[in-house]
Amino acid sequence: MPIITLTTDFGLKDHFVGAVKGAILKEFSEASIIDISHQITPFSITEAAYVVKNSYQNFPEGTIHIIGVDSEISQENKPIAIQLENQFFICSDNGIISMITNEIKPDKIVEITIQNKMEYRFTVLDIFVKVACHIARGGTLEVIGNKIDKIKKLYEIQPSINTEQNQIVGSVIYIDNFGNVISNITKSIFQNIGKGRDFEVIARNYTFTKINKKYNDIVDFSIPIDKRQDDGKRLAIFNSANFLEISMYRSNLKTVGGAANLLGLNYRDNITIRFK
Amino acid sequence: MPIITLTTDFGLKDHFVGAVKGAILKEFSEASIIDISHQITPFSITEAAYVVKNSYQNFPEGTIHIIGVDSEISQENKPIAIQLENQFFICSDNGIISMITNEIKPDKIVEITIQNKMEYRFTVLDIFVKVACHIARGGTLEVIGNKIDKIKKLYEIQPSINTEQNQIVGSVIYIDNFGNVISNITKSIFQNIGKGRDFEVIARNYTFTKINKKYNDIVDFSIPIDKRQDDGKRLAIFNSANFLEISMYRSNLKTVGGAANLLGLNYRDNITIRFK
Amino acid sequence: MPIITLTTDFGLKDHFVGAVKGAILKEFSEASIIDISHQITPFSITEAAYVVKNSYQNFPEGTIHIIGVDSEISQENKPIAIQLENQFFICSDNGIISMITNEIKPDKIVEITIQNKMEYRFTVLDIFVKVACHIARGGTLEVIGNKIDKIKKLYEIQPSINTEQNQIVGSVIYIDNFGNVISNITKSIFQNIGKGRDFEVIARNYTFTKINKKYNDIVDFSIPIDKRQDDGKRLAIFNSANFLEISMYRSNLKTVGGAANLLGLNYRDNITIRFK
């Protein structure tokens, strides 16, 4: 059963997601449809890129990923299909692929052209579904479009490093369900620049001199459990996707708050690492 | 694999949806369960009708749609099963089917009676699941209920046309994930009454003299991209479901706002078209 | 197709759920993945227990339930796998199982040990997925851990009964999508203690002398429908999971409000039954 995943900003209330799933199953009844997220902030290709980047490598070879964010077709926003590490991505050429794959070169890119010969309702429902089912049936990319070499690049997701190589200035790219604030500073950039030196992480008014491996590294298990006051403690961590994250231990964005609102950190705010 | 879809107002946090899916798979393990929406506003059959109406035709023949909104059984709210265009609908006789199918006559309607011979927990979990699995196994409607001819009709979803045939007064029936305001005026009513005449669309204090085909029709692509100020522009459009919609370009209901809150439009507010 | 269900506090926006589903399908492509809930309040094992307790019995034998709430591994929070009534549960030994199974003894419990020999990203993604797929392929629990006899017990979910046996003091354990307030008083406790006596249910300033079987028991169908004013009426009911619930008829937590906010009832507040 070929897997088709969906990442969109459609939300879960409207008919859009149901309509797309119906259309996939009508076109190719053996498809296995997996939701990655439909809660992407409307039109946010940065968020969509973060979510897809940290999901896709977990899927089996041959998986087809539909990304339905900012996908209305125009002369500046063409639909594309990409083959990358034996998986497939169908999305718009709006820079999202450059943010998903910054270090990996796609094996093949085509600009989709099937929309030129048909009436369609919305891009994902009629164009992306048709392309996904074509690939799922074993069809080649060349049949649904023209091979191209270049796609739109967006670099906003990259942190900057000073010439002395002792400072990395990153920025907040994502805030997760727990209110954790995620920067664009990866563990590998940190290690390549830091080379084991001491450092401080600076996020607004807060400084961290340690980056944890696990959230509960901050817990002192020798203290009796009913005497501990760890909930809400600030910490820096490389998260499971290997990005530097500012977190509050066992926080809850909807009640007591999380790192994002309690520390006053928001999208695009700077997170800086200074090496000694 | 027969497809059973779910449209409910259960939300996604509670155990209701999980319990229903478990019950389907216990009764009929080959079922393919597809969520259409569980975020319908509690008890809103108008919203449920809009969502199902715009999803179901995308599904393959034989698909079975469970609609679990306002489905507690009473002497006034009987469970029914409908065959329509080779698909099946299981819901309550509360008017929802008349809003889904206003122009199409169901092929068969039965009033479900199996609940009379059993204890049940809630209607969807025990009654609708049993009926859906019966149909999925190829069973006929007559086995689970009695054929009837009439179902409850609700007309609130229809716009009104004046006797001079130069004005359509519709109303807001749905607000989507992007804050777009959707009226009950379809493209076909507009074309049948307007017959190509000039018109104005009036929504509260705003007037539109054009109805777009695509959201980005309002973009002037000859202006350099960094000089454009299109985000947030108001527009009227026939949406992908062919309903007249008032939208703000690339809006976001959760941050800057969408047409609904920025233009002050809410459910049941009037949207009027005047032909010249 | 073995069924693997997911109950987590990951939310539906982030990449976590997508990553976990991809990892399951990469490890065991025939798995049928069913979402129970990803909207559990972060770290709330009480909520997770309520949701799983009221879902799992609906699933077929052999179903494997992953519970990803409060699952970061520490010396105090070990991963476990449980066999119970021919279903399987993979979670942390944080008390959640004692709240799911208060009256049922698990058939087998193992403390999972596979994490000791591997690097992993987060517990659910790498440990729980591997264990679930092992069980789905027919593997035994002993292979992935060591048999144990005891698990952590949490009793907070139990109501208290006075020595005169004429009063049950329960507390609010869950608030559902409709704003209904659910207590930990089950129908069987009520019947065992009450033995048919008259009673009052006291919830804050409100008293009920009847517990309904259906929500619409409060409707007087002899009154013409346009004269009735039932929406928003308070009622006590044994809900479909057989817990005592305080409800407002056809309420909507997001608009007019539900029992929770309108009656001022919150998590852990007392609900008392006094027998005469």
Here the CATH number for the domain that contains residue C34 is 3.40.50.10790
**With contacts defined as CB-CB under 8 Å, which chain B residues touch C251?**
42
Determine, for residues A23 and B58 on separate chains, whether the beta-carbon distance falls below 8 Å: yes
Task: Name the domain count of chain C.
Answer: 2
C139 and C229 share a domain?
no
Helix (H, G, I), strand (E, B) or coil at B20: helix
A143 and A7 share a domain?
yes
In chain A the first and final C-alpha atoms are separated, in Å, by 53
Structure confidence at residue A92 (pLDDT): 97
Using a CB–CB cut-off of 8 Å, the residues of A that contact B are 9-23, 25-26, 29, 33, 41-43, 72-77, 121-122, 125
Residue C154 within any structural domain of the chain:
no
- Return per-residue pLDDT of chain B as tens, 276 residues: 799 999 999 999 999 999 999 999 999 999 999 999 999 999 999 999 999 999 999 999 999 999 999 999 999 999 999 999 999 999 999 999 988 986 778 999 999 999 998 889 899 999 999 999 999 999 999 999 999 999 998 766 689 999 999 999 999 999 999 999 999 999 999 999 999 999 999 999 999 999 999 999 989 999 998 898 888 899 999 999 999 999 999 887 777 788 888 888 998 899 999 999
- The string of DSSP letters for B126-188 reads IIIHHHHHHHHTT--GGGTEEE-S------TTS-EE-TTS-EEEEEEEEE-TT--EEEEEEHH
Residue B152 within any structural domain of the chain:
no
CA distance B10 to B2: 23
C226 and C267 share a domain?
yes
Residue A133 within any structural domain of the chain:
yes
Determine, for residues B29 and C1 on separate chains, whether the beta-carbon distance falls below 8 Å: yes
Helices B129-136 and B16-27: crossing angle in degrees, nearest 10, is: 40
Residue A12 phi/psi, 5-degree rounding, is: -110, 0
Residues of chain A with pLDDT under 70: 102, 155-157
Residue B266 sits in a domain of what CATH number?
2.40.30.90
Is pLDDT of C269 > 70?
yes
Q: What is the pTM of this model?
A: 0.94
> Closest-CA residue in chain C for B123?
C240
For residue C255, give the amino acid letter.
T
CA distance C174 to A7: 31
Q: Which of C15, C39, C72 to mutate to test the interface with A (most CBs of A within 10 A)?
A: C15
CA distance B39 to B52: 13
Structure confidence at residue B157 (pLDDT): 66
Q: Give the nearest partner residue to C10 out of A63, A177, A255, using CB atoms.
A: A177
Residue C45 phi/psi, 5-degree rounding, is: -75, -20
A54 and A121 share a domain?
yes
DSSP state of C58: G
For residue B41, give the amino acid letter.
T
C118 and C23 share a domain?
yes
**With contacts defined as CB-CB under 8 Å, which chain C residues touch A10?**
none
**With contacts defined as CB-CB under 8 Å, which chain A residues touch C41?**
252, 254-255
Structure confidence at residue C93 (pLDDT): 95
Q: Give the nearest partner residue to A10 out of B38, B53, B177, using CB atoms.
A: B177
Helices C16-27 and C129-136: crossing angle in degrees, nearest 10, is: 40
Geometric angle at alpha carbon C253, from C230 and C14, rounded to 5°: 150
Domain boundary residue among B147, B175, B193? B147
B168 and B89 share a domain?
no
B184 and B123 share a domain?
no
Determine, for residues B26 and C59 on separate chains, whether the beta-carbon distance falls below 8 Å: yes
Q: Is the dihedral of CA A44, A48, A49, A51 positive or negative?
A: positive
> Closest-CA residue in chain C for B15?
C51
C184 and C241 share a domain?
yes
Using a CB–CB cut-off of 8 Å, the residues of B that contact C are 9-23, 25-26, 29, 33, 41-43, 72, 74-77, 121-122, 125
> Closest-CA residue in chain A for C23?
A58
Alpha helices (H) along chain B: 16-27, 45-53, 96-100, 129-136, 187-194, 259-262
The residue segments making up the domain with residue C55 are 3-147
A117: Cβ contacts below 8 Å, ≥ 6 apart: none
CA distance B183 to B190: 12
Q: Give the nearest partner residue to A18 out of B32, B37, B221, using CB atoms.
A: B37
Domain boundary residue among A147, A181, A205? A147
Domain boundary residue among B147, B176, B195? B147
Q: What is the pLDDT of residues A130-155, one digit of tens each?
A: 999 999 999 999 999 999 999 998 76
**With contacts defined as CB-CB under 8 Å, which chain B residues touch C178?**
42
Weakest-pLDDT range from A63-72, A176-185, C21-30, C221-230: C221-230
Residue A13 within any structural domain of the chain:
yes
A-C C-beta contacts closer than 8 Å: 97
Q: What is the pLDDT of residues C110-154, one digit of tens each?
A: 999 999 988 898 999 999 999 999 999 999 999 999 999 999 987
Structure confidence at residue C157 (pLDDT): 66
Residue B98 within any structural domain of the chain:
yes
